[in-house]
Amino acid sequence: MEEKFDAAIVGAGPAGISAACILADRGVKVIVLERGEYPGSKNMFGGVLYGRCLGRIIPDYAQKNCPIERNIVESRISYLSEQGSISFAYRDHAFFEELQNNAFTVGRAKFDRWFADQARAKGALVVCSTVVTDLLRDEAGRVIGVKTDRADGDLRAKVVLLADGVNSPLAARSGFRPEVRPGKVALAVKELIALPEEVIDERFGVSAGNGVTNEILGNVTAGMNGVAFIYTNRRSVSIGIGANLSDFARQRVRPYEMIERLKLHPAISPLIKDGKPTEYIAHWLPEGGFETVPKLFGDGFLIAGDSAMLFNALHREGSNLAMASGRLAAATILDAMEKGDFSSRTLQAYGARLEESFVLKDLKKYRRFPSFLETHKELFTTLPDGVSAALRTILTVDETPKKTSQRAAWQAMRSRTAPLRLLHLIWDAWRSIR
């Protein structure tokens, strides 16, 4: 690979391909290097993409046959105790009819391939089965390209965008980002369960390509700081669960045991009954929030997406932050091209752009949220059963006077979580999201 490129992008995920689309659109000579056999072959996520963020990159994505599985018209949050489930659901067809694909599910193997094809159509070169092993630097330490595992090895570029995901050994090896600490990432596992389309429609109460997301909290994570989810695809449901990596190490719970436990829960098993598991995959998630965002640029390089730890753990958003950061990195590279200056002096505008965008504004707003979860384990241990026991007591109809059953409900609650601890929890929760 003797040829010199204007921009080299490591990783054909949402961040890398978003940047490639914008750069190629403006005639920049851009190459994307992807270690997978094809874009998406090594990737997994829960499944929800956000139409407006994608629309900033490919405005006519629906006409271009973006492989949408289902449009999300209902978002559920469930809090599971050992046997019970408390749910909140918001359904509104405006999400599809007026807001047009606000959120929809996709499979990464299909979506990433489609997205990379859009970049190729605009003129980007997307090269797969190629691992970037290191960065090339000049004597002054400036990044001037990448080393790959191909026989024709090194590739020179005026600027390199690291969009290689949460694991990013490159960013860590180059000293741009500290090694990921187990307390700052989650390990998640996901299964794809095939079911006939009409069965999914019936079980989730939807039709005509509409779907549901269900975020699940409670003691399904065996006391570990984590969440689970079920999302509907056209002919399958994605079911997954994840928890903090250091919690996994401490509690010695195996991820597949957790997902099996989740699948057996009385609120979940009817949704997947008789389904056929077709895929099982594990992945990391950056959950450290704002405090773990590294320096985002330097001489000759920028970092975007999960590689820069841009993940909103409260709202479970990542792909949109990846797309937005890829887009803003591309805008900065375009400025640098115009000036002919790829030093951090010009590339620092990327940091400013991210600060002004929802990406860092949201992460900053929720900067206390990761430590809130770390310090309130009762959310995943005693509280679900306490709330469940209290509701069961109140909703049991017999001849007990209401005053007595309300007292008993409060007693059931306080026997599991002390009132002071509860007050603390509410106060800290409020502080972590305000």
Binding stretches for ligand FAD (CB under 6 A): 10-16, 33-36, 42-43, 45-48, 131-132, 163-165, 170, 188, 190, 240, 242, 283, 285, 305-307, 311, 316-320, 322
Looking at the DSSP assignment, which residues form a beta bridge with residue 389? Answer: none
- The two tokens of residue 54 are 């994608």
In whole angstroms, how close is the CB of 59 to ligand FAD at the nearest point? 19
In whole angstroms, how close is the CB of 187 to ligand FAD at the nearest point? 9
Residue placing its CB nearer to ligand FAD in the complex, 285 or 389: 285
Residue placing its CB nearer to ligand FAD in the complex, 172 or 408: 172
Residue placing its CB nearer to ligand FAD in the complex, 10 or 354: 10
In whole angstroms, how close is the CB of 33 to ligand FAD at the nearest point? 5
- The two tokens of residue 325 are 């950061």
In whole angstroms, how close is the CB of 92 to ligand FAD at the nearest point? 19
Residue placing its CB nearer to ligand FAD in the complex, 156 or 392: 156
Q: Measured between alpha carbons, how far is 270 from 167 in angstroms, rounded to an integer? A: 35
In whole angstroms, how close is the CB of 182 to ligand FAD at the nearest point? 15
Q: Measured between alpha carbons, how far is 247 from 2 in angstroms, rounded to an integer? A: 46
Query: 156: how many CB neighbours lie within 10 A of its CB?
Result: 15
Spatial neighbors of 193 by CB under 8 A, at least 6 apart, are: 236, 237, 238, 239, 272, 275, 276, 277, 278
Note the Cα 91 to chain centre separation in Å: 22
Written as one letter, the residue type at 26 is: R
In whole angstroms, how close is the CB of 393 to ligand FAD at the nearest point? 36
Residue placing its CB nearer to ligand FAD in the complex, 147 or 414: 147
Q: For the residues of 173-204, what is the DSSP string, one character each?
A: HTTSSPPPPGGGEEEEEEEEEE--HHHHHHHH
Residue placing its CB nearer to ligand FAD in the complex, 171 or 389: 171
In whole angstroms, how close is the CB of 28 to ligand FAD at the nearest point? 19
Residue placing its CB nearer to ligand FAD in the complex, 56 or 316: 316
- Ramachandran angles phi, psi of 52, nearest 5°: -65, -35
Residue placing its CB nearer to ligand FAD in the complex, 109 or 390: 109
In whole angstroms, how close is the CB of 10 to ligand FAD at the nearest point? 5
Burial environment of residue 322 by CB neighbours within 10 A (0 to 12, 13 to 18, 19 or more): buried
CA nearest to 322, candidates 332, 312, 331, 314: 312
CA nearest to 285, candidates 306, 259, 256: 306
The secondary structure element, H or E, covering residue 406 is: helix 402-414
- The two tokens of residue 18 are 């978003």
Residue linked to tokens 């989740």? 262
